[in-house]
């Protein structure tokens, strides 16, 4: 009885953390629940049609925001105490949001042409829409995002009264509403453009995979492929996190999905509660870093930089490999540090047997890249990959999104079986509802981007950061990382990236960092906030599953992830650092890419050993200092040369060799101590 109650408490805690990430939703039943379910299916079908057919840009964005606002008010309660209660106020807000969008669609080109001089009706609808977007963001992500947006709007209106260098001409209500509501630079700007095309298509695609049993297959495959050693439990968590998280892009969801299955195995292997939760959260965090979704930021990066989505995937490949190499390395160290035990997970099917039976779940993942290499647009590639996922699900009757056996066994009830009981329809509904919080965040972030564009805040902010850093690229990078990290503590990763991409990236670009490297740097530090208190939702959710202490679990997550998060400094500080993004450095060649990849591995090994206090065996204080020094010398070689050795014959290659030598000395010391102990 006590065990069942404890399990129920843990499930409620997990649900609470998921709600902090995705918002608390009503669970309506009866005719009202059926109506909302049908509307969710219609939203997915509309966006699938828009990916294949012809829908104008403005109509698609307006309709997308209309769906987002309607579901934000009808599915997310104003306060938790009103959960599962129908409210006419919510229905009125939803209707007003839809009316504002219909007004814009019907207005056509004349509506857009009035953006510099909106009439009274335009202004009324615009003010209402801004208020509704802010409330939708509050309901789905919390109060901090709307508060940040309001601060930016206040900045836009208070320009003449601000002290230098923040002063600007100032904008009245009419000009603000005209920009935010009646152009494609505010609410309906880049963020909503990406949300209405790629993000929702990927959530639908991810729902198809989920409802066809791909998640269970990835878990079973990982267990079968990496078991058989004391490190098997940790390795399985790392590989499963990559396979589960890549298509979903959700850190918390990946952590929870994996934790409920994998924690008993980690406990049997010898992981204590907090360490197990830390590893689960670190693995879940990899979902936001891994292609193809990158926590929805991949599409935003492509849109901001005006590059192809395939280029973003290419840039993410090597950093993703380095991140998971770091996790695998930490798992190997843990096995020796804690004396991990071999875990028997039973005599299930072999990895090869699983692939023969359900390996088709890999096909659609590969299909995305194949379609883009064939010349399809990202939207077309994910659309057809989703169709491949639907088609291949029929290769196993237990995975089919439409159970043909039901149609055969119910000759008179086939329509109900298709429309109500099929996993396909449920996946369509889940696909649209799963991105409501992201859509609301993108709409609210559009207000911030609109203010930054209107006032030129990005250039002002970059000049201030550079001035505080004294023109030093190293200090500018550190300040930028801290700014992104602090912003990320308050808002979700997607919003954090959007905000900092427009206000912080210009500082790095001004100092000569390639724009794509600056954006990837900002994205990585936005992700780091996911394992940083007080908003460390992934570690908190993992702690709810393992029964560990949330803050100790968060510190364990830091331990696992921190070595990998020093690597992004190599993107911006070293001229050949762009090689980590699979870009040939200016004036260099592919040997520079291989060199920087090797140096990144050296940094990871050094910092992983220092973070764990263990390499081949427990490190002494001197060995730990050697490891920290080795990592720092290699990581900051270019910056140190520019700052201290520019007028000498010491080059960055000498500093890198010195760092490698320090690592070798630490390893030699470990080997000597091991021989003496033997």
Tens of pLDDT, residue by residue over 454-482, are 888 777 777 888 888 888 888 888 888 88
Q: Is 134 a residue whose pLDDT tops 90? A: yes
Q: How far apart are CA 69 and CA 87, in angstroms?
A: 15
Q: How confident is the model at residue 124 (pLDDT cuts 50, 70, 90)?
A: very high
CA 466-469-473 angle, 5° bins: 80
Rg for the chain (alpha carbons), in Å? 26
pLDDT tens digits, 383-425: 898 899 888 988 888 888 877 666 666 656 556 666 666 788 8
Q: What is the DSSP string of 150-175?
A: HHHHHHHHSGGGSPTTS------HHH
**pLDDT at site 117:** 87
**What count of other Cβ atoms lies within 10 Å of the Cβ of residue 651?**
13
Q: Is 492 a residue whose pLDDT tops 80? A: no
Tokens standing for 361?
Answer: 């779940």
CA 348 from centre of chain: 33
Q: How confident is the model at residue 536 (pLDDT cuts 50, 70, 90)?
A: low
Angle, in degrees to the nearest 10, between helices 423-433 and 200-211: 140
Q: How confident is the model at residue 67 (pLDDT cuts 50, 70, 90)?
A: very high
Q: How confident is the model at residue 106 (pLDDT cuts 50, 70, 90)?
A: very high
Helix/strand/coil for 618: strand
Tokens standing for 372?
Answer: 């883009």
Identify which has the larger pLDDT, 405 or 586: 586
Contact 234, 334 (CB under 8 A): yes
**pLDDT at site 224:** 73
Q: Is 80 a residue whose pLDDT tops 70? A: no
Q: How far apart are CA 164 and CA 542, in angstroms?
A: 46
Question: Which of 256-270, 339-353, 571-585 tops mean pLDDT?
Answer: 571-585
pLDDT tens digits, 28-57: 777 888 888 889 999 999 999 998 888 898
Residues 293-314 have a mean pLDDT of: 78
Residues 435-453 have a mean pLDDT of: 85
Average pLDDT, the chain: 81
CA 138-144-150 angle, 5° bins: 85
**pLDDT at site 456:** 80
**pLDDT at site 396:** 83
Residue 513 — φ and ψ, nearest 5°? -75, 130
Contact 481, 211 (CB under 8 A): no
Q: Is 488 a residue whose pLDDT tops 90? A: no
Helix/strand/coil for 649: coil
Q: How confident is the model at residue 561 (pLDDT cuts 50, 70, 90)?
A: confident
Q: Is 622 a residue whose pLDDT tops 60? A: yes
Q: How far apart are CA 36 and CA 30, in angstroms?
A: 10
Identify which has the larger pLDDT, 50 or 251: 50
Q: Is 378 a residue whose pLDDT tops 60? A: yes
Q: What is the DSSP string of 23-85?
A: -------HHHHHHHHHHHHHHHHHHHHHHHS---HHHHHHHHHHHHHHHHHHHS-SSGGGTT-
Q: How confident is the model at residue 122 (pLDDT cuts 50, 70, 90)?
A: very high
Q: Which strand (E) or helix (H) includes residue 549?
A: none
Tokens standing for 576?
Answer: 């050949």
Q: How confident is the model at residue 136 (pLDDT cuts 50, 70, 90)?
A: very high
Q: What percent of the chain has pLDDT over 90?
A: 14
Q: Is 126 a residue whose pLDDT tops 90? A: yes
Q: How far apart are CA 295 and CA 495, in angstroms?
A: 11
389: closest CA among 373, 369, 366?
366
Q: How confident is the model at residue 12 (pLDDT cuts 50, 70, 90)?
A: low
Tokens standing for 484?
Answer: 């992104």
pTM: 0.76
Tokens standing for 67?
Answer: 């769906």
pLDDT tens digits, 172-204: 888 899 999 998 888 998 888 878 887 788 888
Q: How far apart are CA 166 and CA 164, in angstroms?
A: 5
Sign, CA dihedral 532-535-538-544, equals positive
**pLDDT at site 142:** 79
Q: How confident is the model at residue 248 (pLDDT cuts 50, 70, 90)?
A: low
CA 556-561-567 angle, 5° bins: 155
Q: Is 535 a residue whose pLDDT tops 60? A: no
Identify which has the larger pLDDT, 232 or 32: 32
Q: Which strand (E) or helix (H) includes residue 211?
A: helix 200-211
Q: Report in angstroms the alpha-carbon separations of 304 from 77, 452, 488, 500.
A: 33, 14, 19, 12
Q: How confident is the model at residue 369 (pLDDT cuts 50, 70, 90)?
A: confident
């Amino acid at each position: 009885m006590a065990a069942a109650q404890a399990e129920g408490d843990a499930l409620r805690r997990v649900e609470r953390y998921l709600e902090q990430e995705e918002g608390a939703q009503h669970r309506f039943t009866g005719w009202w629940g059926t109506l909302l379910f049908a509307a969710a299916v219609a939203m997915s079908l509309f966006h699938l049609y828009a990916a294949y057919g012809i829908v104008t840009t403005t109509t698609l964005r307006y309709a997308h925001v209309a769906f987002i606002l309607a579901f934000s008010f009808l599915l997310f309660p104003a306060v938790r105490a009103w959960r599962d209660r129908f409210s006419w106020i919510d229905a009125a807000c939803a209707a007003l949001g839809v009316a504002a969008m219909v007004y814009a669609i019907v207005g056509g080109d004349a509506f857009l042409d009035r953006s510099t001089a909106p009439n009274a009706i335009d202004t009324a609808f615009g003010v209402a829409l801004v208020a509704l977007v802010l409330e939708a963001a509050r309901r789905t992500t919390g109060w901090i995002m709307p508060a940040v947006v309001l601060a930016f709007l206040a900045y836009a209106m208070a320009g003449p009264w601000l002290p230098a260098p923040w002063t600007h001409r100032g904008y009245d209500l009419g000009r603000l509403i005209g920009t935010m509501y009646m152009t494609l630079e505010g609410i309906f700007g880049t963020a909503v453009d990406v949300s209405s095309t790629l993000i929702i298509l990927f959530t639908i695609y991810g729902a198809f995979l989920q409802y066809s049993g791909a998640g269970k297959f990835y878990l079973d495959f990982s267990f079968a492929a990496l078991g058989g050693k004391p490190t098997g439990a940790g390795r399985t968590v790392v590989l499963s996190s990559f396979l589960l998280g890549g298509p979903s892009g959700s850190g918390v969801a990946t952590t929870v999905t994996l934790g409920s299955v994998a924690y008993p195995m980690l406990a049997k292997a010898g992981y204590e509660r907090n360490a197990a939760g830390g590893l689960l959260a670190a693995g879940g965090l990899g979902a936001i870093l891994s292609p193809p979704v990158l926590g929805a930021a991949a599409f935003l990066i492509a849109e901001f930089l005006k590059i192809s989505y395939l280029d973003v995937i290419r840039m993410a490949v090597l950093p993703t490999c380095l991140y998971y190499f770091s996790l695998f390395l930490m798992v190997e160290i843990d096995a020796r540090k804690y004396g991990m035990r071999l875990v028997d997970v039973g005599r299930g099917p072999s990895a090869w047997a699983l692939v023969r039976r359900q390996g088709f779940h890999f096909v659609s993942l590969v299909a995305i890249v194949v379609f883009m290499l064939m010349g399809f647009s990202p939207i077309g590639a994910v659309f057809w990959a989703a169709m491949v996922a639907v088609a291949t699900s029929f290769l196993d009757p237990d995975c089919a999104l439409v159970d043909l056996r039901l149609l055969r066994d119910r000759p008179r009830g086939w329509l109900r079986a298709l429309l109500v009981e099929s996993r396909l329809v449920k996946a369509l509904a889940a696909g649209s509802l799963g991105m409501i919080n992201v859509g609301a965040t993108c709409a609210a972030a559009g207000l911030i981007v609109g203010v930054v564009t209107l006032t030129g805040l990005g250039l002002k902010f970059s000049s201030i950061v550079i001035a505080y850093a004294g023109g030093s690229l190293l200090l500018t990078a550190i300040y930028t990382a801290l700014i992104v990290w602090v912003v990320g503590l308050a808002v979700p990763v997607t919003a954090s990236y959007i905000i900092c991409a427009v206000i912080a990236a210009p500082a790095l670009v001004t100092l000569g960092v390639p724009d794509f490297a600056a954006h990837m740097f900002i994205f990585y530090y936005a992700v780091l906030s996911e394992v940083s208190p007080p908003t460390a939702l992934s570690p908190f959710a993992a702690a709810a599953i393992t029964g560990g202490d949330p803050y100790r679990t968060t510190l364990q997550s830091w331990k696992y992830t921190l070595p990998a998060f020093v690597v992004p400094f190599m993107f911006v500080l070293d001229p050949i650092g762009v090689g980590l993004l699979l870009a040939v450095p200016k004036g260099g060649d592919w040997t520079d890419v291989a060199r920087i990849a090797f140096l990144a591995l050296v940094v990871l090994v050094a910092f992983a050993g220092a973070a764990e206090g263990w390499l081949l065996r427990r490190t002494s204080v001197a060995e730990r200092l050697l490891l920290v020094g080795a990592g720092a010398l290699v990581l900051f070689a270019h910056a140190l040369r520019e700052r201290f050795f520019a007028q000498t014959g010491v080059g960055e290659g000498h500093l890198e060799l010195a760092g490698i030598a320090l690592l070798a000395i630490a390893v030699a010391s470990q080997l000597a101590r091991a021989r003496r102990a033997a």
